[in-house]
């Protein structure tokens, strides 16, 4: 449908939807990642290869969580960015580092699990903690190189009321779409297919082995479920709807209007809320990548339960008084 002018997209939904999501993710993510990093650092001397990737996963989450208060202020102020263009770019860059860093380190965990289960004789003793640290540095460098071009696109618009764009202004949206499609291929599609292939092969090996550890089976299946959850809820919808929304903006710029443009925009904003949930869901990986994680979590929950009982029942240690008929 071609028109000389296109109806404006309503941005009210974003200002109402994203702030509560950011508040929830900030609180849950900060507590969960703080606990996970603390448990890893307390056992630093026992740090294993896979835990190095988990540690970097937590650092990526913490980096992003520190920027959420500024985004909360931004949307509470009706999309008015008051922190300057430089910090707008830093905030968006931190989001990209978290997103693609998380995908990268989850892929590293998947590949390591694959090698340990499918090719144990080739891997045992050959891959060391030093190797995992080197790989982690390479992941950070690769993700940084992929995210760096995004910084050079215009991120703010306006003099008095500035907008901090997630992508860029309409002036550069066509070039940004091409960049985004390439970024999606290298930063998401390839790691996703690699992860899928690793766990598919692991599933086949574990179920065809006559003698296999039931605990190992359960652990791998739980980790596979967590990764499917992360990719299905957080990553796949975001990348599909992000590029579709950019394409919609390109069509609007060309005065080619479609009724589904506003719906795509709203769906993309929902996917933005879902993708930031990865910072709150990633700590689930701690529980299954770190052998001592479940035991530490049970101890933490028991302590919390005891504290709640002490606060709610201050006289629980006293001798109970028999109830009279009137009290009943």
Q: Is residue 252 included in any domain, yes or no?
A: yes
Q: Tens digit of pLDDT for each residue in 213-269?
A: 676 677 777 777 888 888 999 999 999 999 999 999 999 888 887 778 889 999 999
Interatomic CA distance for residues 178 and 14, integer angstroms? 25
Q: Is the Cβ–Cβ distance between 108 and 136 less than 8 Å?
A: yes
> Which residue, chain included where needed, has tokens 């060309």?
254
Q: Is 312 helix (H, G, I), strand (E, B) or coil?
A: helix
Query: Who contacts 297 (Cβ-Cβ below 8 Å, separation ≥6)?
Result: 35, 287
Task: Quote the pTM value.
Answer: 0.84
- In the chain, at which residue ranges do the beta strands (DSSP E only) sit? 156-157, 163-164
Helix (H) or strand (E) holding 159: none
Q: What's the CATH code of the domain at 42?
A: 1.20.1070.10
Q: Is residue 3 included in any domain, yes or no?
A: no
Helices marked H in 185-213 — which ranges?
190-208
Q: Tens digit of pLDDT for each residue in 90-122?
A: 999 999 999 999 999 999 988 988 888 888 877
Query: Who contacts 228 (Cβ-Cβ below 8 Å, separation ≥6)?
Result: none
Q: How far is CA 248 from CA 152, 177, 235, 258, in A?
A: 22, 10, 20, 8
Q: What is the pLDDT of residue 237?
A: 96
Confidence bin at 292 (pLDDT 50/70/90): low
Q: How far is CA 130 from CA 93, 137, 286, in A?
A: 28, 11, 20
Q: Is residue 26 included in any domain, yes or no?
A: yes
Q: Is residue 1 included in any domain, yes or no?
A: no
Q: Is residue 303 included in any domain, yes or no?
A: no
In DSSP terms, which residues pair with 256 in a beta bridge?
2
Higher-confidence residue: 162 or 152? 152
Q: Is residue 232 included in any domain, yes or no?
A: yes
Q: Residue 319: pLDDT above 70?
A: no
Which of the residue ranges 8-17, 63-72, 300-309 has the most confident prediction, judged by mean pLDDT? 63-72
Q: Tens digit of pLDDT for each residue in 2-14?
A: 445 666 677 788 9
Interatomic CA distance for residues 212 and 43, integer angstroms? 28
Higher-confidence residue: 7 or 155? 155
Query: Who contacts 3 (Cβ-Cβ below 8 Å, separation ≥6)?
Result: 255, 257
Query: Who contacts 298 (Cβ-Cβ below 8 Å, separation ≥6)?
Result: none
Q: Is residue 328 included in any domain, yes or no?
A: no
How many CB atoms lie under 10 A from the CB of residue 226?
18
Q: Residue 321: pLDDT above 50?
A: no
Interatomic CA distance for residues 51 and 132, integer angstroms? 9
Q: Is the Cβ–Cβ distance between 216 and 117 less than 8 Å?
A: yes
Domain span at residue 74 reads 12-290
Domain total of the chain = 1
Confidence bin at 283 (pLDDT 50/70/90): confident
Q: Tens digit of pLDDT for each residue in 163-214?
A: 899 999 889 999 999 999 999 999 999 999 999 999 888 888 877 776 556 7
- 29-68 per-residue burial string, b: 16 or more CB within 10 A, e: under 16: bbebbebbbebbeeeeeebbbbbbbbbbbbbbbbbbbebb
Q: Is residue 92 included in any domain, yes or no?
A: yes
């Amino acid at each position: 449908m071609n028109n000389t002018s296109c109806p404006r997209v309503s941005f009210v939904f974003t200002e109402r939807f994203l702030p509560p999501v950011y508040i929830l993710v900030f609180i849950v993510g900060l507590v969960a990642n703080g606990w996970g990093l603390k448990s890893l650092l307390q056992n630093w001397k026992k740090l294993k290869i896979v835990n190095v990737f988990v540690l970097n996963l937590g650092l990526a989450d913490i980096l992003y969580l520190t920027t959420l208060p500024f985004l909360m202020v931004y949307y509470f102020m009706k999309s008015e960015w008051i922190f300057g263009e430089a910090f707008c770019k830093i905030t968006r860059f931190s989001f990209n580092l978290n997103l693609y860093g998380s995908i990268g380190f989850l892929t590293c965990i998947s590949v390591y699990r694959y090698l340990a289960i499918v090719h144990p004789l080739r891997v045992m003793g050959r891959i060391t903690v030093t190797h995992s640290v080197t790989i982690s540095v390479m992941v950070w460098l690769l993700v940084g190189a992929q995210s760096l071009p995004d910084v050079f696109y215009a991120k703010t618009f306006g003099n008095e009321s500035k907008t901090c764009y997630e992508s860029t202004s309409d002036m550069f949206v066509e070039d940004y779409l091409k960049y985004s499609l390439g970024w999606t291929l290298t930063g998401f599609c390839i790691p996703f297919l690699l992860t899928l292939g690793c766990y598919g092969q692991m599933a086949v090996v574990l179920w065809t082995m006559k003698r296999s550890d039931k605990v190992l089976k359960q652990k791998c299946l739980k980790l596979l479920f967590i990764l499917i959850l992360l990719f299905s809820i957080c990553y796949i919808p975001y990348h599909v709807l992000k590029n579709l929304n950019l394409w919609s903006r390109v069509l609007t710029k060309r005065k080619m209007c479609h009724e589904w443009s506003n719906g795509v925009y709203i769906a993309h904003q929902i996917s933005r809320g879902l993708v930031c949930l990865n910072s709150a869901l990633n700590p689930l990986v701690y529980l299954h990548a770190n052998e001592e994680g479940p035991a530490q979590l049970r101890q933490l929950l028991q302590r919390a339960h005891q504290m709640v009982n002490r606060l709610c029942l201050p006289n629980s240690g006293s001798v109970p008084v028999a109830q009279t008929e009137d009290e009943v």
